Amino acid sequence: MSETLFDNGAWAGAAPRLSVLVPFKGDDPCLLLDLLAREPMAAEVVVLDDGTADPDLTARVRSALDRSPLPARLVTLAKNEGRARGRNRLVSHARAGHFLFLDSDMAPDSSSFLSTWLALIDQENPAVAFGGFSLDQAPPRRDHALHRAMAGHSDCLPAEVRALNPEKHVFTSNLLVRRDVFAAEAFDEGFAGWGWEDVEWGMRVARRWPIRHIDNTATHLGLDPAPVIAAKYEQSAANFARVVAAHREVVSAYPSYRAAKLLKRAPLRRLWRPLIKAYALAELAPVRSRAFAMRLYRAALYAEAV
């Protein structure tokens, strides 16, 4: 696929120790780029526009990169490549020995975010490390209440908890990877749509290298309304099936797999599944019970894959 490149004035000749890799499609990454620019460290930023086709957004991103002291490149694609292939393409433009995958809707929680990653590289040269994410800077909104409750329960976990299942808590929202590790294990481009390509990558990598977990969080600002969460789960069912086929021995220990296995025996699943979804989308219902219903809905979708 053809790509258009834009480099800022600091790009040429730079020799960074860390490449920050930021894909986006439709989202505006400028806030993140401005926050990263506050730390003029030995890092570069490579941004991938994965087929947004919005000239105004392109102009804003170029302007953000122009004012950044960090060496920066924008890669613009005419058509969407997808999450796995897009991140693999980002790596092809990276020049450092370590890559930091950072989603465009993240915001570092510390003013020393990049320096913490660089210190870890200097001290340990880790193969893979995940910094975690939070909701600390995400503004409360009623239509995000369900996502906030679900993420707070299962995703916003301290390093010592994540380290109990290191491969499970590997997300490209805040993920450090050493160059030689990624050269051996890239993202599987057979995944399509949303979900599981980063966790599956973590399963493969964990067979060969340790996965380090630290507390160097970034806030997930891009919380979704409940209908978007449901749509993403519907997209992810085929990806979950791909993970089960390749890593059943690992994923069979996950609660989502065990719940799907139980629901596979339930009769008339396609009749009652929409009712569970409807309850999960009902904003007047208690958030805790809605979160349970949404997890149950996901398990009912995944039952087709187990």
Which of 164, 125, 138 lies closest to 218, judged by CA? Answer: 138
Tell me the average pLDDT of the chain.
93
Overall fold of domain 3-223:
Spore Coat Polysaccharide Biosynthesis Protein SpsA; Chain A (3.90.550)
Which of 201, 73, 46, 179 lies closest to 121, judged by CA? Answer: 179
Band (pLDDT 50/70/90 cuts) for residue 269 is confident
Q: Are strands 43-50 and 18-24 parallel, antiparallel or unpaired?
A: parallel
Highest mean pLDDT among 65-74, 256-265, 266-275 belongs to 65-74
DSSP H stretches of helix in the chain:
30-36, 55-66, 83-93, 113-124, 145-154, 159-162, 179-184, 197-206, 226-251, 255-264, 269-281, 287-302
Sequence ranges of the chain with CATH classification 3.90.550.10: 3-223
Instruction: Summarize pLDDT for 42-74 with one digit per residue, the tens.
Output: 999 999 998 888 899 999 999 999 999 999 999
Is the pLDDT score of 40 beyond 80? no
Band (pLDDT 50/70/90 cuts) for residue 1 is low
**Alpha-carbon 257 to chain mean position:** 21
pLDDT at position 11: 96
Instruction: Summarize pLDDT for 96-149 with one digit per residue, the tens.
Output: 999 999 999 999 999 999 999 999 999 999 999 999 999 999 999 999 999 999
Is the pLDDT score of 84 beyond 90? no
Query: Backbone phi, then psi, for 67, in 5-degree steps?
Result: -90, 0
pTM, rounded to two decimals:
0.92
For the beta carbon of residue 142, count every other beta carbon within 10 angstroms: 8
What distance in Å separates the CA atoms of residue 303 and residue 219, rounded to the nearest whole number?
Answer: 32
Band (pLDDT 50/70/90 cuts) for residue 190 is confident
> Is there a contact between 67 and 37 (Cβ–Cβ < 8 Å)?
yes
